[in-house]
Structure 1
Amino acid sequence: MIGKMIAKTGWSKGGRKTDSASKENVAKLISQRENPIYGEILRKAKDAQAREKYIVAIAFYDQAIDYGGGDVGIFCEIADMYIQLRNYNDASLNLREAQNLDPENAYICIRQGDLRKLERRYGDAEAFYSRALKFKPQWESAAAKLDEVRSLAAQSAVLQQEREREHAKKVAVLEMMKSSPDGDRRVDPSLFAKTYEELYRDHGPAFVFTKNGTEQKTRWGTGPTVRGVDALRGYLVSDVPYKKLQIYLDGVLLHEGELVGAPQSFEKSNPNIRKYVYNAWVDFSKFAYGWHELVFSAIGLKGQSLEGIDWRRERIIIAPPLPEGYFQENDSLIPPVDPNSALSIVKQINERPSIIHEASTHSYPGKIQNVAVLRTDQLGDVVVSVPAFLRLRELLPDANLVALVTPANAEVCRTLGVFNEVIELDFAEDAFHRHRIMDEQKQTALIHQLAGYKFDLAVDFVMNGVSRRLIGLTGAPVTIGYGYEDCKTLKLDFETYDPKSNNDVTHHSVRMGLVVKALELWLDSGAKVVRRDDLDRSILAQYGIEKDESYVLLHSGSRIKFTQWNGYVELANRIVKDLGAKVVFMAEHDEFKKLLSNEALENNKIVYMSGKIPFDHFDALISFSSVFVGNDSGPKHLAALRGTQVISLHSARIGWGEWGQEQTGVVISRKVPCAGCGLHHEPDDCAQGVACMAHIKVDEVFGQVVRFMPKQKHAPIASNIAYLA
């Protein structure tokens, strides 16, 4: 353990020999303390401590103890640094060593009590504070600490009793619901508020992966797959700090970086428990495609190495880049980085410009020229699919539709006038296996045969059975169908039933139609501008907005706080200064007001609004604004619905293609390897400082404001009238 104990050196209070050390050894230690080398070691330790490099400082103090023995001061300094590192176990050990050297030192007793209070061990803290008063009576500070910890202990006991009563009350309610003949069993207890005992638990040490690529089916198999620059994310749970993480690929160091400490939510008992989070951005483009082994090793203060606790291994697939022309606007698709740059991968990515996406009702991720259509079952299955086939042809009039069917269905498919080509598959049902089979040789031949078609899209109309596994053989980068086999791009799940027989109560043709309908909406959602004819612009007068005055509305709020952009104040001041336009600045509270231009606020060029207002007023402010700037939130969607030009600042936690507005304006996002993290309640798990929002520049947003502002003064009225018309 860093910070070796005094027993190892034979040093004791006043330089007296311990049982484990000879007089000669003690004399040697005293002599070494007078050596300038000892003083230099202490100087380095204190310098590192002043710079808050605590692990380095502890290592130097450790060296000093080895060289010249320990004393009360050194052990207390080490303990204080361990407390800063939240390593309370080793802090306690060092304070114990200091107390052994000076058992009646009241100040050490106070430190012991403070540490126990941090650990919420109030009974132990009370004992140490009482001991301090024994050694130093009338010490007011110690007496105050003793009173405080007794109060905390009493409060803790009351709180624990309340929690136990709350839990017992809920258990009683559930038991009554079960036993009462009059209770309505449709009431769902899972919707009840959870008690403390249900929410909180004791967390043990663990090493948790949150992302090592995405699950994909490739020519090397199905598994976690990375392509180009990708992110490896996860965290360790521990009550002893970790500082760094090393990642090895096939035994070679791939990445080394700092771990970021974060709270462990819902920890019940141990205040030392923390998460140590990593989000490593790694360039995999230089490695051979196929399976590789990753080893993750955390470096901390434990001095041990246990698999699943301090290190873990994972096998991943490194795959080639996605085909050009598909998923190009995905925020996780990172253009190549410069391996010879002096800048790290993180800095290279963060210094790139943000991406401006034009709002659109289209979200399909590529082109559609060649389409594989699979219906590899019986004649009746194909016949009931004909309405869906016909609609697919209407939807894609110029596409090359190739049907992949069994021989029993080939002729009827040729009569439909839908398909450019019909391919008969040797995929007969086997009586012994009771399902269709296709051996390796036939599957390999089919892969080679279909590769020449360069399918952009494969649509599988098979509802269930092994036939659904053929879609992966088409090589199409985009796939649609029912079920989750082969990691389809668009997975459908549709089921109906009647409560008596459990049979389906919808035509099979409806299910087939839903497949095509999903594609139709993917190509164009049909979202429209919906204006309100009943809104009167005169509502705005009470907010200081003149009849013909244009303005930019900045809505700084967001339900998910860590996704709020930090540039609204600078943007507001710049709009007023450079464009002379009015700004309506909406915020949840008044925290931004003091940062805005006083002159602009006094001259009513910035109208600051916080708190709730009537919905019609809110709707009018949005509807009549020339430009709306906001985070990914409900108000930005409302602004787009009303036809206002929206500049949406979108975090990469979820896809902008899913939640970006569709009708008007632009979405500004950033390409980061960890896009799609889905973080919500645990922002500290990012470990990259929410780079997807932090690096959206004011210049980039301001440029779009200029673009959408009316070219002439007072033009917004004409613009709004046009929308109303």
Structure 2
Amino acid sequence: MRRVLVARLDSMGDVLVSGPAIRAVAGAAEVVLLAGPQGAPAARLLPGVAEVRVLAAPWITPTDRPVDAGLAAEVARIVRETGVEEAVVLTSFHQSPLPLALLLRLAGVRRITGASVDAAGGLLDVRLIPGETLPEELPEPIRALRIAAAAGYALPDGDDRLAVLLPDRPGSAGAPPYLVVHPGAAVPARAYPAERCAEVVSLLSARGHRVLVTGGPDERDLTARVAGDTGVDLGGALGLGELGAVLRDAGVVVAGNTGPAHLAAAAGTPVVSLFAPVVPAVRWAPWGVPVALLGDQEAACRGSRARVCPIPGHPCLASVSPAAVVEAAERLLEGAA
């Protein structure tokens, strides 16, 4: 089969929500997925990906590398080694496909598709225009599918779910049911306050639920504080695939707008989404599973894309009581029963 490069250069959640578009391309070609360092582990969990290549793109992710001849040579090497002659560049509404398109064109890629507000000239062979030929307020999985469809790749109707390939968990059969609380977030403005997460764990435990608390290796202090004496602290104990399997087997996952919320959705688990409106929920809420969306979506930080909350007291999330989180989790559990 011919090979097509699909690019999604940002974080874990961005890669996961691009999964349906990647499967669409994979229905007609071998997909070489070009991911950033933060998104590459998620890229390796996606169905339909034949090969993953990693590029730290200075216009997308924080990196100290310059935009220079060395970067152009790296892109050219990836194109040469993978044998791709076509590329589909997936971006969010605030990103441009043009820097990568330029490097791919210089590397000899013959056909490139992307969505760009700016005129693309000869950089894009197929161009969607946000706000004109591409609606602005689309969920990210649907936006990515529209870009893939413009390139000529489509999924069957109704097949827009997220999906991941996850390992089995030895010994999980017959284990007591549990919920997961994931308190961390890569962007501080999107995190529910730690002390409130700890109250959620305590309340859920008091109501008879087994609660696992998950987090990365750099979040061990946070997960220990949140788990307290009643939760099971798994901070730093799981690789991404193992985390996905734990989320898959949970009854409900409680998380902010962060990668594991999208991983839970891709695994098919309902999510209590503590969603700070610094980015729009219509675009970034967990997709394809039952969701309880909590948080003041009209707060003053709305649409700011702030990484650190600009409003004293973090009111968009701090205003959500732990009792409300527990009630939402139990409603989702009842709905799944």
Q: TM-score, normalised by structure 1?
A: 0.26
Aligned identity (percent) is: 17
Contact 1:661 1:667 in 2 (8 A): no
The match for 1:277 is: none
Distance 1:673 1:627, change over 3 A: closer
- 1:706 CA drift (Å): 0.9
1:676 matched to 2:302? The reply is yes
Maintained 8 Å contact 1:494/1:511? no
- The answer to whether the Cα contact below 8 Å between 1:492 and 1:515 also exists between their aligned partners in 2 is no
The alpha-carbon deviation at position 596 of structure 1 amounts to: 4.8
Distance 1:513 1:691, change over 3 A: closer
Aligned to 2:327: 703
C-alpha change, 1:608 and 1:516, in structure 2 (3 Å) is same
Greater displacement, 623-632 / 560-569:
560-569
**C-alpha offsets along residues 527-574 of structure 1, whole Å, 9 cap, x if unaligned?**
414254x63242xx4xxx662421101001101124321221111111
Structure 1: distance between partners of 2:134 and 2:267 = 26
Is the CA contact 2:265–2:286 (under 8 Å) kept in the aligned structure 1? Answer: yes
Alignment partner of 1:590 out of 221, 226, 229: 221
Q: Quick check: 2:257–2:273 contact (8 Å CA) kept in 1?
A: yes
Deviations 1:8-46 (A, max 9, x none): xxxxxxxxxxxxxxxxxxxxxxxxxxxxxxxxxxxxxxx
C-alpha displacement of 1:589: 1.4
AA partner of residue 276 (structure 2): S
Is this contact kept in 1: 2:139–2:282, CA < 8 A?
A: no
Matched residues in 2 for 1:558 and 1:529: separation? 21
Does 2:317 match 1:689?
no
Of 202, 205, 212, which aligns to 1:573? Answer: 202
Task: Report if aligned partners of 1:632, 1:649 keep a CA contact under 8 Å in 2.
Answer: yes
Q: Which amino acid letter does the alignment assign opposite residue 627 of structure 1?
A: V
> In the alignment, which of 174, 188, 193 is matched to residue 547 of structure 1?
174
CA distance 1:511–1:590, shift in 2 (3 Å): closer
Partner of 1:607: 232
d(CA) in 2 for partners of 1:514 and 1:705? Answer: 36
* 1:661 is the counterpart of 2:286: yes
Q: How does 1:78-93 map to 2 (within 5 A)?
A: none
Give, in whole Å, the separation in 2 of the partners of 1:594 and 1:514: 45
**Take 2:317 and 2:232, find their aligned partners in 1: how far apart are those partners?**
25
Describe the shift of the 1:187–1:619 C-alpha distance in structure 2 as closer, same or farther (beyond 3 A). same
1:551 touches 1:626 (CA, 8 Å); kept in 2? yes
Q: Secondary structure at the match of 2:325?
A: helix
Match of 2:121 among 497, 508, 523: 497
1:266-318 Cα shifts (integer Å, max 9, x gaps): xxxxxxxxxxxxxxxxxxxxxxxxxxxxxxxxxxxxxxxxxxxxxxxxxxxxx
Q: Is the 8 A contact 2:189 2:276 kept in 1?
A: no
Residues 537 and 624, structure 1, Cα contact 8 Å, conserved in 2: no
Change (3 A) 1:514 1:706: closer
| Distance in 2, Cα, partners of 1:514 & 1:687 | 30
| Paired residues of 2:180 and 2:212 also in contact (CA < 8 A) | yes
Contact in 2 for aligned 1:649/1:669 (Cα 8 Å): yes
Q: RMSD between aligned alpha carbons?
A: 4.0
- 1:339-383 Cα offsets, whole Å, 9 max, x none, are xxxxxxxxxxxxxxxxxxxxxxxxxxxxxxxxxxxxxxxxxxxxx
| Superposition pairs of residues 398-547 of structure 1, within 5 angstroms | 493=117, 495-498=119-122, 515-516=132-133, 518=135, 525=142, 527-530=160-163, 532=165, 535-538=167-170, 541=171, 547=174
SS at match of 2:121: coil
Q: Distance in 1 between matches of 2:174 and 2:304?
A: 43
Q: Shift in Å at residue 593 of structure 1?
A: 3.0
Give the number of aligned pairs: 211
Distance 1:559 1:493, change over 3 A: same
Q: SS of the counterpart of 2:327?
A: helix
Q: 1:620 Cα deviation (Å)?
A: 0.5
| CA shift digits 1:698-722 (9 cap, x unpaired) | 12111111111258xxxx8xx7xxx
Q: State the distance in 1 between where 2:137 and 2:199 align.
A: 42
Letter in 1 for 2:191: Q
Q: What CA distance in whole angstroms lies between the structure 2 residues aligned with 1:595 and 1:496?
A: 48
Aligned partners of 2:177 and 2:250 also within 8 Å: yes
> 2:80 matched to which residue of 1?
none
Distance 1:559 1:595, change over 3 A: closer
**1:61-110 CA deviation, whole Å, 9 max, x = no partner?**
xxxxxxxxxxxxxxxxxxxxxxxxxxxxxxxxxxxxxxxxxxxxxxxxxx
What is the alpha-carbon distance in structure 1 between the residues aligned to residue 257 and residue 136 of structure 2?
25
Contact 2:181 2:255 in 1 (8 A): yes
- C-alpha distance in 1 between matches for 2:189 and 2:306: 9
C-alpha displacement of 1:518? 3.5
SS at match of 1:559: coil
What is the rounded CA distance, in whole Å, between the counterparts of 2:241 and 2:185 in structure 1?
20
| Matched residue type, 2:167 | L
Match status 1:648 vs 2:273 = yes
Larger radius of gyration: 1
For residue 8 of structure 2, what is the aligned residue in structure 1?
Answer: none
Q: CA deviation at 1:586?
A: 1.5
User: Aligned runs of 1:335-374 on 2, under 5 Å?
Assistant: none
Residue type of the partner of 1:614? G
Alignment gaps of 5+ in structure 1: 1-169, 178-182, 189-490, 601-605, 720-725
Q: Distance in 1 between matches of 2:189 and 2:140?
A: 32
Alpha-carbon distance change, 535 to 693 in structure 1, aligned in 2, over 3 angstroms: same
Deviation at 1:640, TM superposition (A): 0.8
Alignment partner, residue 60 of structure 2: none
Give per-residue Cα distances to partners, 1:117-175, cap 9 Å, x unaligned.
xxxxxxxxxxxxxxxxxxxxxxxxxxxxxxxxxxxxxxxxxxxxxxxxxxxxx9xx99x
Structure with greater helix percent: 1
1:581 counterpart SS class: coil
SS in 2 for 1:590: helix
C-alpha separation in 1, matches of 2:213 and 2:324: 19
Contact 2:272 2:293 in 1 (8 A): yes
Task: Tell me the SS of whatever aligns to 1:630.
Answer: strand
What amino acid is aligned across from residue 647 of structure 1 in structure 2? V
Q: Match of 1:103? A: none
Q: Give the drift of 1:608.
A: 0.9
Structure 1 residue 615: deviation in Å? 2.4
Contact 2:203 2:323 in 1 (8 A): no
Correspondence 1:712-723 to 2 at 5 A: none
CA-CA distance at 1:616 after TM superposition: 2.3
Higher RCO, Cα 8 Å, sep 6+? 2
Q: 1:646 to 1:690 in 2, by over 3 A?
A: same
Give the equivalent residue in structure 2 for 1:618.
Answer: 243
Q: Which runs of 5+ in 2 are unaligned?
A: 1-63, 75-114, 143-157
State how 1:166-565 maps to structure 2 within 5 Å. 186=72, 493=117, 495-498=119-122, 515-516=132-133, 518=135, 525=142, 527-530=160-163, 532=165, 535-538=167-170, 541=171, 547-565=174-192
Question: What's the TM-score once normalised by structure 2's chain length?
Answer: 0.52
How far 1:498 moved relative to its partner?
3.8
Instruction: State the AA in 1 paired with 2:180.
Output: L
1:432 is aligned to none
Change (3 A) 1:515 1:633: same
| Partners of 1:669 and 1:692 within 8 A in 2 | yes
Instruction: Tell me how far apart the structure 2 counterparts of residues 616 and 677 of structure 1 sit (CA, whole Å).
Output: 32
